[in-house]
Amino acid sequence: MSVRVISSIKEMHEFSNAVKSEKKKIGLVPTMGYLHEGHLSLVRASKKNADVTVVSIFVNPTQFAPSEDFDKYPRDFERDKRLLEKEEVDVIFYPLSDEIYPENFQTYVSVKDVTQILEGVFRPTHFEGVTTIVNILFNSVKPDIAFFGQKDAQQAAVIKQMVNDLKMDIEISVQPIVRESDGLAMSSRNIFLNESERKDALVLYNSLRYAEELIKRGERDKERIISEMKMIINSAVSAKLDYIDVVESNTFSLVDKIEEGKSYYFLIACRIGATRLIDNILLTV
Ligand code: AMP
C-alpha cells in the first residue's frame, strides 16, 4: 500500500486528532531525509512501540549557519518515499518551508547550558534551530513517543532537557548508532566523501574503539586517552579535528575525571576534507 504523504499542517493536525480519538499511540521519527539504515532503525523502533508511525522529512534551514551546507544537503524524496513504503510507515510528514517558517515567523525555542558545549561551540546557532523545528514538529504531529539517534547524542540530550523543562507529555527514545560494516557511522553526509576520504573517515570510529580499549585496560586519565585518540585522528591526511571530549552520560556535562561505576560519552567532531562528521561511543567504566 502506498504511504500517505501529508504536507499541510492542518491536514497533519486532523490526522493526528483522528488517531488520538481512537486511543492509538503516535510515534514520530524526525529526519532531514536522504534516508539510510540509521534512520530506518528509528522507524523500526517506532513501528514496534507505537500504533501509528509518522516520519517527518524536512531539511530545516534554521539549524544551518549561513556558511554551512544547507543548499548542498542531499535530498531525494522519491527514494525516501520508496524506502518508507517498504517499512510500512503510515505517514510521511513533508511540510513546506513557507508554512513552517512564514514571513512573519518570530518564535524560537532555546535550551541554555547543554547547548553551549561541544557542537554548540562550533555551531553556535545550531541547537536553537533544532529545538525550534522539533517543537513545531511535535505541535504538528502530536506524538506520544519520538525517536532520535545516539549518533547525535548531544541533540538527544538537548531535546530531553527541553521536553523535561517545558513539561511536554512526550517520551523520548534514543536508539543506538547504526554503522557501516567497517565501523563508519551512517550519515547522509557520507555521500560527500571521495574514495580516500572514505578511508580516512574511519579514524573517528577507530579512535573511539581505542578509547574503549584503553578504558578496558584500566586507563582512567582523560587527557591521556584523548591524546592517544588525537594521534589516530591525525594519522589521516584529510582529517581536521574540531573536538574530542568526554561527558557524563546522565548529566551530559563535561568531566575532568573518569570515575569507576559511571558511564560516559566520548564524542568527536572532525572534518574529513570538506565534510564535517560526528561520532561517539558510550562507555561504562
Ligand atoms: P538527520 O536526518 O541527520 O537529521 O537524522 C535524523 C535522525 O536519525 C536523528 O535522530 C539522528 O540521530 C538519527 N541518525 C542519523 N544517523 C544515524 C545512525 N547512523 N544511527 C542511528 N541513528 C541515526
> Could you please report the per-residue DSSP string of 231-253?
HHHHTSTTEEEEEEEEEETTT--
Residues 26 and 112 in one domain: yes
175, 196, 225 - which closes a domain = 175
Q: Is the pLDDT of residue 136 over 90?
A: yes
Cα-to-centroid distance, 29 and ligand 1 (Å): 9
Residues 137 and 215 in one domain: no
Would you say the CB of residue 38 lies under 6 angstroms from ligand 1?
Answer: yes
Q: Which of 32, 40, 42 to mutate to test the pocket of ligand 1 (most atoms within 8 A of CB)?
A: 42
Q: Is the pLDDT of residue 1 over 80?
A: no
23 secondary structure, DSSP code: T
Structurally, the chain folds into a number of domains equal to 2
Q: Is residue 145 part of a domain?
A: yes
Distance CA 264, CA 32 (A): 28
Q: pLDDT (tens digit, 9 = 90+) per residue, 242-273?
A: 999 999 999 999 999 999 999 999 999 999 99
CA distances from 178 to 6, 50, 94, 150, 283 (A): 28, 21, 24, 9, 16
Averaged confidence pLDDT in the chain: 98
Q: In this structure, what CATH number is given to the domain that contains residue 270?
A: 3.30.1300.10
Cα-to-centroid distance, 42 and ligand 1 (Å): 8
Distance CA 113, CA 115 (A): 5
Would you say the CB of residue 186 lies under 6 angstroms from ligand 1?
Answer: yes
Range of the domain at 276: 188-284
Q: Is residue 131 part of a domain?
A: yes
Q: pLDDT (tens digit, 9 = 90+) per residue, 206-246?
A: 999 999 999 999 999 999 999 999 999 999 999 999 999 99
Q: Determine the 3-state secondary structure of 56 from DSSP.
A: strand
Residues 195 and 149 in one domain: no
Q: pLDDT (tens digit, 9 = 90+) per residue, 196-209?
A: 999 999 999 999 99
Residues 36 and 140 in one domain: yes
Q: Determine the 3-state secondary structure of 203 from DSSP.
A: helix
* pLDDT confidence bin for 2, thresholds 50/70/90: confident
Q: pLDDT (tens digit, 9 = 90+) per residue, 138-166?
A: 999 999 999 999 999 999 999 999 999 99
218 secondary structure, DSSP code: T
Q: Could you give the angle at the alpha carbon of 71 between the alpha carbons of 135 and 59, nearest 5°? A: 25
* pLDDT confidence bin for 184, thresholds 50/70/90: very high
Q: How much of the chain, in percent, has pLDDT values that exceed 90?
A: 99
Residue with CA nearest ligand 1 atom 19: 186
pLDDT of residue 145: 98
Q: Could you give the angle at the alpha carbon of 232 between the alpha carbons of 231 and 233, nearest 5°? A: 90
Q: Is residue 180 part of a domain?
A: no
Distance CA 230, CA 146 (A): 35
Would you say the CB of residue 31 lies under 6 angstroms from ligand 1?
Answer: yes
Q: Is residue 181 part of a domain?
A: no
39 is catalytic: yes
pLDDT of residue 94: 98
Cα-to-centroid distance, 152 and ligand 1 (Å): 7
Would you say the CB of residue 62 lies under 6 angstroms from ligand 1?
Answer: no
* pLDDT confidence bin for 173, thresholds 50/70/90: very high
Mean pLDDT of 129-135: 98
Q: Is the pLDDT of residue 34 over 80?
A: yes
